[in-house]
């Protein structure tokens, strides 16, 4: 695709230029909260269908855009979750240094961490409709800490064409509030933002450092333990805490005590929450019976799974699936 022609007089007015790629004019919009948000326009400008700027939302900013052709976005100081609305198409993307090429379906998400450039393009002559959700990194950290993730420093990972029914459900609820233009829905939108922030921190980040209390686990061993548990759970393998302790070279008692000191939750509770997250993905992405999902998520019985699921999610597995 040839580069768009730009007036040389504009070269010092905030153009983001990439050789052989379209040039973008970067404007600064100020929302009602007073914080600056980057908005991007191209020669073939994206159409802003709706925005939460005038709805008073404090914890999340939502923008629904229609895009055509190749589109690039400069880095912003916020994490961005892009929810693809329609249609299905083959899309290429570059997020930071990572390149992706995949068939994207309605409901698929992409994640652009704060401070990361991104570019998207497709050859089909289709208009791409997407919902962009912006979260402040400080708010994400605060929400993660208050939910029991612990006092941690983490780095959000880039994602593309990811299927996450939990985030999709939250995004569709925010989109409904956005389309209805209901100013009174601010509290509901902000509560959804908190859940969205926790999901972003738990599923799409990795630990950079851990602020451990005296006697807590070292950051290196904590990362090893969490990565070991997550890998086993993602592969639907059985995980015993003794095997985790052995993997990080610690006694079972010392591992359990220091893990809880570092994470503000026991390793058993962490495993249960991760099993529930895995079960939610299976409920949204498969037609497996609930009893099969219970076993694949590592629960001994359907009744135990249902009781635990309702306690942590606030609904039974069947009701949760019907809501998706």
Residue pLDDT, tens place only, 237-246: 888 899 999 9
Structural tokens at position 155: 């780095």
Q: How far, CA to CA in Å, does 184 sit from each of 24, 134, 171, 176?
A: 35, 20, 18, 13
Please tell me the distance from the alpha carbon of residue 318 to that of residue 295, in angstroms, as a whole number: 15
Nearest to 55 by CA among 200, 198, 195, 188: 188
Predicted pLDDT at 36: 33
Nearest alpha-carbon partner for 135 in 186, 82, 180, 96:
82
Q: Cα separation of 112 and 82, whole Å?
A: 8
Residue 32 CB neighbours (<10 A): 12
- Residue 149 has a pLDDT of 53
What span, in angstroms and rounded, lies between the C-alpha atoms of 93 and 40?
17
Q: What is the mean pLDDT of the chain?
A: 79
- DSSP letter, residue 89: E
Quote helix, strand, coil % in the chain, to nearest 5: 40, 25, 35
Answer yes or no: is pLDDT of 215 > 60: no
Other Cβ atoms within 10 Å of 251 Cβ, number = 11
pTM comes to 0.56
Strand pairing of 159-162 and 98-104? Answer: unpaired
Residue 92 forms beta bridges with which residues?
101, 121
The answer to whether residue 19 scores a pLDDT higher than 60 is no
Retrieve residue 113's tokens: 């961490």
Alpha-carbon distance of 18 to 41, in angstroms, equals 15
Q: Where do the domains of the chain lie, and which CATH numbers do they carry?
A: 8-203 (2.60.120.280), 213-323 (1.10.10.60)
How many Å apart are CA 321 and CA 91, to the nearest integer? 28
Q: Which residue has the tokens 């040839």?
A: 2
Tens of pLDDT, residues 112-170: 999 999 999 998 888 999 999 999 999 998 887 766 555 456 788 899 998 888 899 89
* Cβ 118 vs Cβ 95: under 8 Å: yes
């Amino acid at each position: 695709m040839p580069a768009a022609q730009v007036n040389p007089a504009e070269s010092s007015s905030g153009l983001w230029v990439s050789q052989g790629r379209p040039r973008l004019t970067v404007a600064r919009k100020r929302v009602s909260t007073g914080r600056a948000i980057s908005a991007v326009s191209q020669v073939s400008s994206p159409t802003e269908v709706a925005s939460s700027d005038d709805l008073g939302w404090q914890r999340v900013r939502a923008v629904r855009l229609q895009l055509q052709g190749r589109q690039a976005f400069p880095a912003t100081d916020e994490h961005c979750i892009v929810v693809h609305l329609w249609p299905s198409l083959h899309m290429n993307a570059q997020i930071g240094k990572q390149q992706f090429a995949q068939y994207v379906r309605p409901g698929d998400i992409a994640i652009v961490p704060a401070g990361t450039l991104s570019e998207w393009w497709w050859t089909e002559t289709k208009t791409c409709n997407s919902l962009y959700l912006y979260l402040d990194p400080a708010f994400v950290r605060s929400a993660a800490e208050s939910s029991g993730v612990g006092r941690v420093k983490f780095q959000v990972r880039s994602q593309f064409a990811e299927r996450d029914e939990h985030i999709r459900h939250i995004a569709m609820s925010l989109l409904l509030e956005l389309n209805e233009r209901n100013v009174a829905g601010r509290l509901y939108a902000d509560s959804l933002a908190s859940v969205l922030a926790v999901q972003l921190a738990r599923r799409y980040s990795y630990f950079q450092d851990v602020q451990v209390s005296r006697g807590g686990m070292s950051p290196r061993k904590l990362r090893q333990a969490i990565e070991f548990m997550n890998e086993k759970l993602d592969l639907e393998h059985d995980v015993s805490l003794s095997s985790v302790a052995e993997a990080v070279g610690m006694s079972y008692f010392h591992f359990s005590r220091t893990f809880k000191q570092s994470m503000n939750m026991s390793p058993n509770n962490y495993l249960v929450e991760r099993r529930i997250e895995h079960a939610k993905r299976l409920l949204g992405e498969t037609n497996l019976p609930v009893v099969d999902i219970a076993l694949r998520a590592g629960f001994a019985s359907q009744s135990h799974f249902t009781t635990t699921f309702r306690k942590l999610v606030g609904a039974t597995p069947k009701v949760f699936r019907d809501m998706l």
